């Protein structure tokens, strides 16, 4: 089943829409390199579109009605958006669910040390990465420092042109004979991913003078003591902006496109699908890269609790209404897929691979090898989705995550399916997935946004 390349069908107006969407998407990536930063940008966008904080609804004992738009934020890292439709919410919702965390390095709680005249920050990598890809790159530090007095200081070092950047050092090729003989997984060990942080010693200081100078600098700029690292969340990410990729500017090269490319297109679709029959929901979560665990991951009760509050503000709440709503809902688990890379063709079954430029990608199942750990969507549901997309002339394709015995992956789909709702994975194909710099096709981004709008309005 050969799918047509989407670029071939675009006229002037669609190309203009595509360029505008992707320009805004690049800006979102630049401003949202962490979950907290993404949530800030998302809340700004939805407030502008008329969404109100659900806490205000609860506190003021207001009632929701068709056309009401609300958002809920949890711990500044997860957000859910709801647009109330004209149908009874017990008949279910149309849900887009993506994640806004990405692979990176996290600064440890006792990170700062000095060794042979250099100051370093000790890190612990987050999510699945090839560790060797993270050495010698310009790196930035984003996050927050929470002090004992309750103050929370935002940290963003390395993105402004006047900022310093950081790096993880590597051994020069001239001395790397033994290193080059190691397996790729062992070339750089996890405990070697420490950030080079400074090298000037503090005058009139004999012991750990470089560390002492660093502490003076962060005290002057951020009012921060060494013990404040204990209650800090500092993420180390590639420094630099999202860029157009290719001489034809057909692609985007950026950090964090897994899964912010699906999060952003879901957000835009949610805002664009204004008047709806079924209540629509956009769920943008944290911690997917480490198993969707914790209070801000999909396995928490945040989503379920928020839907309960929505029902309570619409009508008389009951557990049965909540269960009926969730079981009757339909969802697109909006996550990226592995783009077919001809350079590494042996890892893919090309007939079942996501091809750049051929539109949004559906993965009926993810998991590994014998479909272990996957949500395997029903044929009837896929049939209904196909009709929606064909009616709206959306380019789409189907794929698996590489050859059967090569590896695999997962998303939040299996967690939502536990409610009994229909769920299928779909999103944008990505090259270099989980690398510091990932590549996507602008055509796929545009078609995915169109597909998400069609789903919200018609599923």
Q: pLDDT value at position 168?
A: 98
Q: pLDDT value at position 407?
A: 73
Q: Which residues of the chain have pLDDT under 50?
A: none
Reference 444, options 358, 319, 343; nearest CA is: 358
User: How far is it, in rounded angstroms, from Cα 230 to Cα 224?
Assistant: 11
Kindly state the DSSP code that residue 67 receives in the 8-state scheme: T
Reference 228, options 161, 317, 148; nearest CA is: 148
- 315 burial level (CB within 10 Å; 0-12, 13-18, 19+): middle
- Residue 186, CA distances (Å) to 131, 179, 283, 312 in order: 9, 9, 37, 53
User: How far is it, in rounded angstroms, from Cα 300 to Cα 74?
Assistant: 11
Q: pLDDT value at position 368?
A: 77
Give CA 201 to chain center in angstroms. 39
Q: pLDDT value at position 244?
A: 98
Asked whether the bond before 56 is cis by omega within 30 degrees of 0, the reply is no
Q: pLDDT value at position 74?
A: 97
- Residue 71, CA distances (Å) to 80, 267, 284, 306 in order: 6, 12, 11, 9
Location of structure tokens 């789409």: 396
Condensed to tens digits (0 to 9), the pLDDT of residues 108-160 reads: 999 999 999 999 999 999 999 999 999 999 999 999 999 999 999 999 999 99
User: How far is it, in rounded angstroms, from Cα 71 to Cα 78?
Assistant: 11
- Spatial contact of 359 and 3, defined as CB atoms under 8 Å apart: yes
Residue 155's CB: how many other CB atoms inside 10 A? 20
Q: What is the pTM of this model?
A: 0.96
Q: Name the packing angle between helices 442-458 and 257-272 (round to 10°).
A: 40
User: How far is it, in rounded angstroms, from Cα 106 to Cα 52?
Assistant: 33
User: How far is it, in rounded angstroms, from Cα 329 to Cα 427?
Assistant: 19
Reference 133, options 72, 194, 188, 208; nearest CA is: 188
Residue 247's CB: how many other CB atoms inside 10 A? 6
User: How far is it, in rounded angstroms, from Cα 336 to Cα 453?
Assistant: 17
Location of structure tokens 């500092």: 234
Reference 427, options 298, 330, 337; nearest CA is: 337
Q: Name the packing angle between helices 442-458 and 12-31 (round to 10°).
A: 90
Q: pLDDT value at position 138?
A: 98
Backbone angles phi, psi at 122, to 5 degrees: -80, 135
Q: pLDDT value at position 406?
A: 77
Phi-psi region of 120 (alpha: psi -120 to 50; beta: other; left: phi over 0): beta
User: How far is it, in rounded angstroms, from Cα 203 to Cα 61?
Assistant: 61
Q: pLDDT value at position 369?
A: 77
253's enclosing H/E stretch is: strand 251-254
User: How far is it, in rounded angstroms, from Cα 335 to Cα 405?
Assistant: 21
What SS3 state is found at 252? strand
Task: List 243's β-bridge partners, or say none.
Answer: 253
Reference 420, options 299, 310, 328, 285; nearest CA is: 328
Reference 127, options 88, 165, 99, 87; nearest CA is: 99
What SS3 state is found at 402? coil
């Amino acid at each position: 089943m050969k799918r047509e390349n989407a670029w071939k069908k675009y006229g002037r107006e669609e190309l203009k829409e595509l360029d505008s969407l992707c320009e805004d998407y690049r800006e979102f990536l630049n401003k949202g390199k962490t979950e907290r930063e993404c949530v800030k940008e998302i809340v700004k966008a939805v407030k502008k579109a008329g969404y109100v904080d659900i806490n205000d609804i609860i506190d003021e004992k207001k009632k929701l009605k068709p056309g009401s738009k609300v958002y809920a934020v949890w711990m500044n890292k997860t957000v859910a958006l709801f647009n109330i439709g004209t149908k009874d919410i017990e008949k279910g919702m149309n849900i887009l669910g993506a994640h806004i965390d990405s692979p990176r390095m996290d600064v440890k709680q006792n990170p700062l040390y000095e060794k042979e005249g250099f100051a370093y920050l000790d890190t612990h990598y987050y999510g699945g990465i090839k560790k060797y890809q993270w050495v010698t790159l310009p790196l930035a530090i984003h996050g927050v420092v929470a002090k004992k007095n309750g103050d929370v200081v935002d940290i963003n070092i390395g993105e402004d042109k006047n900022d310093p950047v950081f790096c993880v050092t590597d051994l020069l090729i001239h001395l790397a004979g033994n290193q080059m003989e190691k397996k790729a997984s062992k070339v750089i060990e996890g405990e070697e991913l420490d950030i080079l942080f400074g090298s000037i010693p503090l005058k009139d200081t004999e012991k750990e003078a470089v560390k002492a100078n660093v502490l003076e600098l962060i005290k002057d700029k951020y009012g921060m003591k060494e013990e404040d690292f204990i209650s800090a969340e500092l993420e180390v990410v590639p420094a630099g902006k999202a860029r157009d990729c290719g001489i034809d500017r057909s692609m985007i090269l950026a950090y964090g496109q897994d899964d912010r490319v699906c999060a952003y297109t879901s957000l835009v679709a949610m805002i664009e699908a204004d008047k709806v029959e079924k209540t629509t929901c956009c769920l943008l979560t944290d911690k997917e890269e480490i198993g969707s665990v914790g209070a801000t991951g999909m396995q928490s009760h945040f989503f379920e609790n928020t839907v309960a509050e929505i029902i309570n503000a619409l009508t008389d709440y009951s557990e049965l209404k909540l269960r009926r709503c969730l079981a009757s809902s339909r969802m697109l688990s909006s996550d990226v897929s592995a783009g077919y890379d001809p350079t590494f063709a042996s890892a893919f079954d090309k007939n079942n691979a996501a091809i750049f430029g051929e539109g949004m990608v559906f993965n009926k199942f993810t998991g590994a090898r014998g479909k272990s750990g996957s949500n395997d969507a029903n044929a009837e549901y896929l049939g209904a989705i196909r009709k929606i997309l064909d009616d709206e002339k959306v380019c789409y394709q189907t794929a698996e995550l590489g050859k059967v015995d090569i590896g695999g992956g997962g998303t939040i789909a299996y967690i939502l399916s536990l409610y009994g709702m229909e769920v299928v994975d779909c999103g944008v194909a990505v090259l270099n997935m989980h690398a510091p710099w990932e590549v996507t096709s602008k055509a796929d981004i545009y078609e995915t946004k169109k597909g998400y709008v069609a789903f919200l309005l018609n599923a």
